[in-house]
């Protein structure tokens, strides 16, 4: 039985039974049958259906936004922005998918030619996390659907209501049965589902540990995967940075979704000569994020999604302090008998390698400040991680910042004087323990197609 629990109040919102073996077989059978038809529809038909979804999302975002807030705790303003972003990805691929997947003709000489076509693979298993319960699903599903694949969603148990709402929305907007469907199953069942002949490929957004398990199962079945995993994103603040801009941007990048984002800024590597000034500014910015009812428009810091996640975050903070880090702000959660999974905005300094705040992904509103002697050491500390999702650098010298972002920082995406974020127009993903493959952009839609060569005599 899956439970949906309001992380702001501890109230049980709903309970959902796991699917039976017979129900699971039915979902997979319907997906296989739907692919036969859906893969033969044209881009105009797929685009029209997705544009209908986008219209529904833009015209009435509040019910779905409220559901996201109730199930996983994000502020209502962030939830509403998430719903709007889902509409954007529908519109973007509805407009551009045909061009992204257009056949290409290659002149081989001597009157010979070849054609390169991009054909759908089949049912895609999308294993998605709770932190962006709508956006993560849409950014994986929409390009796959526009490419002619069908999607089977295994969502996180605590946002089952969001999963079912997405399924209902697609059906209401005219998508045929089986083109987008939901499996209510635990993660332990995924190895069996991946092995199923009904599944052609797998995409996962989740932890590095989950990524290894999915990659192992999919590899054994010789099925294509895209993995977007965790991160410990470094943000470098160099001696010539605009400190007001850096502090304001770093705080915002850290506090996205109460810090529960793979691409949230996590490690702030600051050149020693400006560290004190940056610390003061960052603390002042982080103090603005106070906890409150996430359904109120004025609330800036929502609870964490679950109490066990709060306990793990606090363990990381305490262990880092015990190892020599200093506390500049926060660090003291409410008593356990207080309703909700709230954790205060927290700033640590004197963080070093070997501490959890440096080595591990901290999924919550905790900023770790790390001192560096100079640019060279800042880059070395930034890359001293097994992750490689996002990174950023702050400097008034744009050429210098671009060089560091492009050539020095080991990550799938980087930013100069701003923060990393996903965008339907741009490829998104990581390297090393942050996964492989790309979502979004023209590259993302080609991840789950058969790039097929046709020789013309």
Residue 90 appears among annotated catalytic residues: no
State the Cα–Cα distance between residues 307 and 116, nearest whole angstrom. 51
Catalytic residue among 167, 250, 262, 375: 262
Neighbours of 37 (CB within 10 A): 12
State the Cα–Cα distance between residues 223 and 215, nearest whole angstrom. 9
Catalytic residue among 228, 279, 361, 375: 228
Residue 285 appears among annotated catalytic residues: no
Show which residues are catalytic: 228, 262
């Amino acid at each position: 039985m899956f439970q949906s629990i309001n992380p702001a109040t501890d109230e049980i919102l709903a309970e959902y039974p796991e699917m039976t073996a017979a129900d699971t077989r039915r979902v997979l059978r319907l997906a296989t049958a739907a692919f036969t038809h859906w893969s033969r529809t044209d881009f105009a038909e797929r685009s029209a259906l997705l544009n209908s979804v986008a219209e529904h999302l833009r015209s009435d975002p509040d019910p779905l936004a409220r559901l996201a807030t109730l199930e996983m705790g994000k502020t209502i303003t962030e939830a509403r922005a998430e719903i709007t972003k889902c509409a954007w990805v529908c519109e973007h691929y509805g407009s551009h998918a045909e061009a992204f997947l257009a056949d290409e003709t290659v002149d081989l000489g001597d009157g010979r030619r070849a054609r390169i076509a991009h054909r759908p693979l089949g049912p895609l298993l999308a294993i998605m996390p709770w932190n962006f319960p709508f956006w993560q699903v849409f950014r994986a599903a929409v390009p796959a659907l526009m490419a002619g694949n069908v999607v089977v969603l295994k969502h996180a148990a605590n946002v089952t209501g969001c999963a079912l709402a997405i399924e209902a929305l697609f059906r209401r907007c005219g998508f045929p049965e089986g083109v987008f469907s939901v499996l209510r199953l635990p993660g332990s069942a995924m190895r069996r589902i991946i092995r199923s002949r009904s599944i052609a490929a797998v995409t996962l957004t989740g932890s590095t540990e989950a990524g290894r398990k999915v990659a192992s199962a999919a590899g054994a079945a010789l099925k294509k995967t895209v993995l977007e995993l965790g991160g410990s994103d470094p943000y470098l603040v160099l001696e010539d940075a605009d400190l007001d801009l850096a502090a304001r941007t770093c705080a915002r990048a850290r506090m996205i979704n109460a810090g529960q984002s793979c691409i949230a800024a996590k490690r702030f590597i600051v050149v020693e000569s400006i560290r004190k000034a940056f610390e003061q500014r960052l603390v002042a910015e982080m103090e603005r994020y106070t906890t409150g009812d996430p359904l109120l428009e004025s609330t800036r810091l929502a609870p964490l999604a679950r109490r066990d996640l709060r306990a793990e975050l606090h363990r990381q903070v305490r262990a880092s302090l015990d190892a020599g880090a200093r506390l500049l702000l926060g660090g003291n959660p409410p008593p356990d008998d207080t309703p909700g999974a709230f954790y205060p905005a927290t700033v640590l300094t004197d963080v070093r390698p070997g501490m959890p705040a440096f080595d591990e992904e901290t999924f919550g509103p905790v900023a770790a400040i790390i001192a560096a002697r100079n640019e060279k050491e800042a880059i070395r500390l930034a890359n001293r991680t097994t992750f490689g999702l996002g990174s950023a650098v702050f400097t008034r010298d744009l050429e210098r910042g671009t060089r560091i972002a492009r050539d020095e920082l080991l990550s799938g995406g980087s930013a100069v004087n701003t923060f990393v974020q996903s965008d339907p127009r741009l490829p998104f993903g990581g390297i090393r323990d942050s996964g492989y493959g790309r979502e979004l952009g023209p590259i993302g839609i080609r991840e789950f197609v058969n790039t097929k060569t046709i020789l013309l005599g």
